[in-house]
A = this chain, B = another copy of it.
């Protein structure tokens, strides 16, 4: 009794606890493996092959500056006794190994996906959105998808393709949630309850991907989940936090920081800088929209083209070849995306002497680690070359990501978007820095700006951070969750206003150019039945104008309205008639009415239930024949001796179907569909069934309205 109820109450918590533990552990393993494999393109640790470059050099203890090689780290050409780094053969060998490893990894990834788990490809977030809205994709969250996607994700992200781990991480966490929910019958057996666990899992996925538990919860709320009760929110937070703690204990990056891209700017931003931040927002919105447009175009082309659609492996090989060959020659593309982002976000300090981006003239050194005098605003020559390298990196990254997002390996979109934004932002930041420097020199002690000569007024790293938020916002159209993720990523609460301004402008311009974010666009491309829960639909239409069958409009052929409503009467239909009805129509269910004349509603019978009941009856009840009467009412007459046996079907009908009247405004109807997660409603007038509106009809109706096509159903 008491124990049972206590178990019942705590089952959900235990389930999300397990999900959090597993998600954190999985993320840790993936991070460590991907890092090791990524360095494998470059070389191997001589003594301890299981160490990645950074740990290898740490253990060898002979590096001075970060990002530099050490003797313990054996580059591939060294194995063939080519030690002279400037020789041509060394270069060629190094290049070949780099490209070869990349192609090998991505090919293995696509093979695994193709052979074992076709659902393991892509980001998974569009599908998760649909699943959380009630759509069922069998096997999408199964254990095979989990295993293959984990391995494939390690391979694909190590191959240096322009993709991120974050989307797939959310998918993996949802797989974990799905698998664990079967341990608890309360959740495993009930799709609606299971979705609560999945919402929490999605939060855990973002939490481990970015180290952002609050951002994860808000992502799950804003982007992933369709219906998010408050109880779920608290559990999601718990789940996200547990996952985050586990990941921190695993500590895949060997750092003690709470946040992934920790920044410690000492300066404050000035209000006038909001102008360039807004500019970054506009840029992000435009870039994001261009990306969505191009990527959807390309994805549609891939879908329709025999050549591409049928040969995913060749596509992956070609994309990897191009990416690896070009990335090899650009220092920013060559290093892993996350270390590039960290570099772009960073302030320059004394330890960054060798960094091209930090080649300032007139810099003074103090022994203080946080050195405000490092930035002088006067660039050295290496900054100029870094500037051009960054522009090339941005262009290349943009083009390659369009072609990469959608290939048949696990691939996310967050990190490439953040990378593009960080590059653009850093470029903007460096421009602003030199601009401010010039203004200051002209006016002497300028009173427009709070900063003084010799002190850095402009933090290029902050611009990179803001740019990252802007582009990510332009691509995904996230809002609050994005701002929260950005500040959890960077650990700086003080820069929330710049981030917010950029995200806002990015969202505004993005929505003006194309309404839907990348995930919605992919959902539409794939034709999933997803009812967007964001927009507003102040239609003047009422239900009777949308329902099927429409009220006598046989002249209209574009909308597949047949003019008859197929119903089942509660008595008086024979088994044969029912079978004919099932055979001749393909509706998912039928209203059950008192009689065809009165059409008063009794209930709703789903196609599957009727089919099953008839099938079972045919098999198990010998006296049930084609002429048997089917009774959906509770009063079933006794069998006439020798005659066909009556069939009792009352138990299969849903006696509480959702009904509306024909005068209900469509706004309310859409609201009901969204909030109650309906699949269909029956339309009645004075108690008589007139027609039915399904989720598909709603989607069709909304699409017609959006495209400005005057709906043929409109009548005022």
Contact = CB atoms under 8 A, between A and B. Distances in A.
A208 interface: no
Interface string A660-681: 1101110010011001100000
Nearest to A511: B9
Interface string A224-240: 00000111011001100
A258 interface: yes
A217 interface: yes
Interface stretch (A321-329, A479-487, A611-619): A479-487
Interface in A194-226: 213-214, 217, 222
A238 B686 contact: no
A676 B671 contact: yes
A668 B245 CA distance: 38
B222 A230 contact: yes
A245 B479 CA distance: 19
Contacts of A222: 230, 233
Given A233-B480, A661-B656, A258 B494 contact: yes
A600 interface: yes
Interface in A469-493: 479-480, 483-484, 488, 491, 493
A230 B488 contact: no
A602 interface: yes
Contacts of A493: 258-259, 488, 491, 493
B241 A497 contact: yes
B656 A665 contact: yes
A443 interface: no
A496 interface: yes
Nearest to A480: B237
Interface string A589-606: 000001000001111000
Nearest to A604: B661
Contacts of A230: 222, 479, 533-534
Contact of A686 (B534, B601, B671): B601
Contact of A504 (B238, B483, B664, B686): B238
A569 interface: no
Nearest to A222: B230
Interface string A640-673: 0000000000000001111111011100100110
A687 interface: yes
A688 interface: yes
A600 B233 contact: no
A196 to B, nearest CB: 10
A393 to B, nearest CB: 31
A520 to B, nearest CB: 13
Contacts of A602: 686
Contacts of A671: 676
Interface string A277-293: 00000000000000000
A417 interface: no
A583 to B, nearest CB: 28
Contact of A656 (B231, B496, B663): B663
Contacts of A497: 241, 245
Given A493-B259, A655-B661, A656-B665, A231 B686 contact: no
A500 interface: yes
A127 to B, nearest CB: 20
Count of identical protomers in the assembly: 2
A534 B687 contact: no
Interface in A22-80: none
B676 A672 contact: yes
Contact of A483 (B237, B479, B534): B237
B213 A496 contact: yes
A547 to B, nearest CB: 13
Contact of A684 (B491, B496, B687): B687
A511 B465 CA distance: 42
A255 to B, nearest CB: 14
Contacts of A479: 230, 233-234, 237
Nearest to A223: B230
B659 A661 contact: yes
A536 interface: yes
Nearest to A684: B687
A245 B601 CA distance: 58
A213 B671 CA distance: 29
Contact of A687 (B217, B241, B601, B658): B601
A660 to B, nearest CB: 7
A555 to B, nearest CB: 26
Contacts of A686: 594, 600-602, 687
Contacts of A488: 493
Q: Which of A258, A603, A656 has the largest number of chain B CB atoms within 10 A?
A: A656
A552 to B, nearest CB: 19
Nearest to A594: B686
Contacts of A536: 231
Contacts of A214: 214, 480, 484, 496
A543 B603 CA distance: 15
A268 to B, nearest CB: 9
Interface string A438-481: 00000000000000000000000000000000000000000110
A657 B656 CA distance: 16
B676 A656 contact: no
Given A234-B479, A656-B660, A656-B665, 20 more contacts: A222-B233, A231-B534, A234-B480, A237-B483, A237-B500, A241-B500, A258-B494, A259-B493, A488-B493, A491-B493, A594-B686, A594-B687, A600-B686, A600-B687, A600-B688, A601-B661, A601-B686, A656-B661, A656-B663, A672-B676
Interface of A: 213-214, 217, 222, 229-231, 233-234, 237-238, 241, 245, 258-259, 479-480, 483-484, 488, 491, 493-494, 496-497, 500, 504, 507, 533-534, 536, 542-543, 594, 600-603, 655-661, 663-665, 668, 671-672, 675-676, 684, 686-688
29 contacts: A213-B496, A214-B480, A230-B479, A230-B533, A231-B534, A233-B480, A234-B479, A234-B480, A238-B504, A241-B497, A258-B493, A488-B493, A493-B493, A594-B687, A600-B600, A601-B661, A601-B686, A602-B686, A655-B661, A656-B661, A656-B663, A656-B668, A659-B660, A659-B684, A671-B676, A672-B676, A675-B675, A676-B676, A684-B687
The list of the 8 closest CB pairs from A to B, nearest first, reads A687-B687, A655-B663, A656-B664, A600-B687, A675-B675, A234-B479, A656-B663, A600-B686
